[in-house]
Amino acid sequence: MSQTCVQRTQTALQNIAAAGDEGARIFTKVYTESAHAEAVAADARAALGISLSPLDGRIVSIKDLFDVAGEATTAGSKVMRDAPVAAQDAVVVQRLRAAGAVIIGKTNMTEFAFSGIGINPHYGTPGNAKDVNCIPGGSSSGAGVAVARGMCEIAIGSDTGGSVRIPSALNGVTGFKPTQGRVTREGAFPLSYSLDTVGPLAANVLDCAKADSVLAGEKWVPLQARRLEGLRIGIPRGLLFTQADEAVLLAFEQALQRLGNRGVKLIDADLDVLIAAPFQLQEAGTLIACEAAQIHQALFASGKDAQLDGLVKARITRGQTIPASHYVAVQQARGQLQKAFDAAIADFDLLILPTVPVVAPLIKSLEDADAFNRTNLLVLRNPSVFNFYDVPAASLPLPRAASELPVGLMVVGKRGQDRNLLELAHCLGTTVSGSSSG
C-alpha cells in the first residue's frame, strides 16, 4: 500500500461512481465527504508514525443492517425507509471508527438478509463482479461485489446460513464467519438470534483476520506461521458434494492435489449422518423462519408486509405457522448434536469442501419462484450446516481462468477456535489460491 489513504479512498469512490447505476445497486449509501475526512486523518496519523489498529486507514464498507447514528437502518427493505433513525452506531461500527477505518458506505443486501441469492427488488440487484448477468450471492450481496470490484478493501457482512461465505465464493474473494459469540451483534438488524454472526470479506485471509480482531474487540497479534505438512484435513464427501457443477468439483480436486503435494493428510470423513441432521430436524420448520416471524411480528401487524419481496414474505409467513413445541425441540436437539459434531471432528485439524456446489447462475434463470427456491436451498446448503453447528468457517477463492466464474473452498474449524482456523486458512490459502498471503 504505497499509495496514501486519501489516494486509495479516491480510487474506491471513483470505482463506485464509474459503475453508474450498477454502483447504486452495490451501495445503498456512499459516505463521500466523511470518508475523505477519515482518510485525511489516517494519513496525518501515518505521517506521525501513529497507528490505531491494523485497520487504520483501510477502506471498509458495512452491510445495510448495521446501525449508523442518525440514519434509518433499512436492512434492504423499502418498508424500513421511514423507520426511526438509529440513536448510535452499532458496536462493530463504533469499533471500526475507533480503529481508524475509513467507512466508505453501506452495501446492498437481500431484504432482511433472508436469502442466499442476493436478489433485491427494492434497491436493485448487484450483478456478480465477474458477470453482471449472474447473481452476486447473498445476503451480503453488495459486500462481495464491492470487494471484488475495488470499491472497498474490506467489507463487513453478516452470516446466518452462509451470507458472508456465499458472496465471497461467487465473487472470488475471501470471507470469514466466526463462532457466534465472538463478535457482538448489538446494533445489527437481526434475522435469527440463534444463528446470526458478523464477519468480514476481503481480498485475503490476513485482511479478514485483522478485521476480525477489530470486530471482536481484541488487540491484534500477527498470525503465526503454520506448516501444512502433517495436517489432518477431513473431506466430508457425501451429501454436500451432490448436485455440484463439474467446474466446482474439478477446482476442488485440483486444490486437493496441491495440498497432497505439500504433505497434507487428506482423509475422507464419514460425517453424513451429522451433516444431514440439521435438514432432517428442521423439515417441519427452521429456526430462522421461527425467529424471523417473531422479529417481524409488528411489521405484519401493521399491514406493511404487503410491500415485502414476495419470496422473503413467504419464508417469514412460513415461520408464523410453526408450533412453539417444534422450535423448542429443534433447539434442544441442536445442543446435543453440536456436542456430537465437536466429537466427530476432534481428530481433524480442519474440514474442507466446496463453499457453494455451483457457480453463480444467471439472474434471469431465477425469475420463476420454484427455480429461485430450489437454487436458494442449494446455495445455502453447504455453509448453513456450519452455522447450525456454530463452528468458524472461511471461504477461499480457488484459481480460475479469467473467463471463468469463481469457485470457493470452504475451510471449517472447531467451535471457539477462530484464531486457529484463521492461521491455518492463511497457510492453506497460499497453496490453494495464491491470494491469501496478504
pLDDT digits (tens, 9 = 90+) for 157-174: 999 999 999 999 999 999
Q: What is the pLDDT of residues 242-290, one digit of tens each?
A: 999 999 999 999 999 999 999 999 999 999 999 999 999 999 999 999 9
Q: What is the pLDDT of residues 326-343, one digit of tens each?
A: 999 999 999 999 999 999
Cα–Cα distance measured from residue 305 to residue 301, given in angstroms and rounded to the nearest whole number: 8
DSSP single-letter state for residue 194: T
Cα–Cα distance measured from residue 436 to residue 422, given in angstroms and rounded to the nearest whole number: 11
How much is the pTM? 0.97
Taking a C-beta distance cutoff of 8 angstroms, is the pair 214, 250 a contact? no
Q: What is the pLDDT of residues 175-227, one digit of tens each?
A: 999 999 999 999 999 999 999 999 999 999 999 999 999 999 999 999 999 99
Taking a C-beta distance cutoff of 8 angstroms, is the pair 126, 145 a contact? yes
Strand 59-63 relative to strand 102-107: parallel, antiparallel, unpaired? parallel
Q: Is the pLDDT of residue 414 over 60?
A: yes
Q: Is the pLDDT of residue 438 over 50?
A: no
What's the CATH fold of domain 1-438? Amidase signature (AS) enzymes (3.90.1300)
Residue 2: per-residue pLDDT: 86
Q: What is the pLDDT of residues 75-133, one digit of tens each?
A: 999 999 999 999 999 999 999 999 999 999 999 999 999 999 999 999 999 999 999 99
Whole-number percent of the chain with pLDDT over 90: 98
Taking a C-beta distance cutoff of 8 angstroms, is the pair 129, 145 a contact? yes
Q: Is the pLDDT of residue 437 over 80?
A: no
Residue 1: per-residue pLDDT: 59
Please name which of 395, 399, 397, 431 lies closest in space to residue 413, comparing C-alpha atoms: 395
Taking a C-beta distance cutoff of 8 angstroms, is the pair 395, 408 a contact? yes
Q: What are phi and psi of 127, to 5 degrees?
A: -75, 150
Give the strand order in the sheet containing 102-107.
27-30, 102-107, 59-63, 154-159, 197-202, 174-177, 393-397, 408-412, 350-354, 232-235, 265-268
Residue 177: per-residue pLDDT: 98
Kindly list the catalytic residues.
Answer: 63, 139, 163
